[in-house]
């Protein structure tokens, strides 16, 4: 199936998604990598400079060019390896109603914590310049003290995709299924 969704997302928006489905997303998306995740988890809800209710977080360290004071132009916005954020994801999902994570390469041991709450979507690595075409506006940046790639960028996206559902709200994990099938085929070949 193919879906076109708009952020903020409700649980009803993401519940129909199944592994392998194709999604295009529009609306405000937050970028966040390792350091941003750590700061989000360290911050109290009252001290957060942004609201993650119904949000989509893109595991991305974009390259931005400052055109004028606080006016940014995206140069590249490709996905980073999502597995690096796996250990922090269960706590993130307990604390915030994030509905969608977007990144590259799948995530480890997070499917159970995503059940009934969140989906993981994969974007093709190496498409940093292509992803920029979906960014219509850089709305804001938070925590620039972490450095450009680690800051939280609020970007307006239009039909960002194609994204493939890698983990759905039922806990099905496309990447885990593929790994299991590959291992099964290797065992058969070695017999």
Q: In 10 A of CB 186, how many CB atoms?
A: 9
Both tokens of residue 69? 């004071």
CB under 8 Å to 178, separation ≥6 — which residues?
Answer: none
Determine the pLDDT at residue 179: 78
Interval 87-142: pLDDT, tens: 999 999 999 999 999 999 999 999 999 999 999 999 987 777 788 999 999 999 99
Q: In 10 A of CB 10, how many CB atoms?
A: 11
Is the distance from CB of 132 to CB of 76 less than 8 angstroms?
yes
Question: Which parts of the chain sit beneath pLDDT 50?
Answer: none
**Is 37 marked active-site?**
yes
Cα(96)–Cα(143) distance, integer angstroms: 18
Domain locations in the chain? 2-190
Which residue in 37, 59, 96, 142 is the catalytic one?
37
User: Rounded to two decimals, what is the model's pTM?
Assistant: 0.93
Which pairing describes strands 63-68 and 56-58: parallel, antiparallel, or unpaired? unpaired
Determine the pLDDT at residue 70: 83
By residue count, the chain amounts to 191
Cα(92)–Cα(135) distance, integer angstroms: 25
Determine the pLDDT at residue 126: 75
The CATH number of the domain covering residues in 2-190: 3.20.130.10
């Amino acid at each position: 199936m193919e879906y076109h969704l708009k952020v903020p997302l409700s649980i009803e928006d993401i519940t129909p998604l199944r592994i392998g489905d194709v999604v295009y997303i529009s609306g405000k998306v937050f970028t966040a990598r390792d350091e941003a995740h750590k700061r989000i988890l360290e911050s109290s809800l009252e001290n957060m400079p942004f609201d993650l209710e119904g949000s989509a977080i893109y595991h991305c360290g974009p390259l931005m060019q400052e055109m004028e004071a606080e006016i940014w132009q995206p140069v590249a916005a490709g996905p980073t390896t999502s597995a690096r954020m796996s250990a922090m994801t269960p706590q993130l999902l307990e604390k915030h109603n994030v509905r969608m994570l977007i990144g590259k390469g799948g995530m480890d041991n997070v499917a159970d914590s995503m059940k009934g709450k969140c989906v993981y979507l994969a974007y093709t690595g190496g498409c940093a310049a292509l992803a920029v075409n979906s960014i219509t506006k850089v709305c804001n940046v938070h925590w620039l003290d972490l450095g450009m790639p680690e800051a939280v960028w609020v970007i307006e996206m239009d039909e960002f995709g194609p994204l493939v559902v890698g983990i759905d709200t039922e806990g099905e994990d496309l990447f885990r299924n593929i790994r299991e099938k590959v291992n099964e085929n290797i065992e058969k070949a070695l017999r």
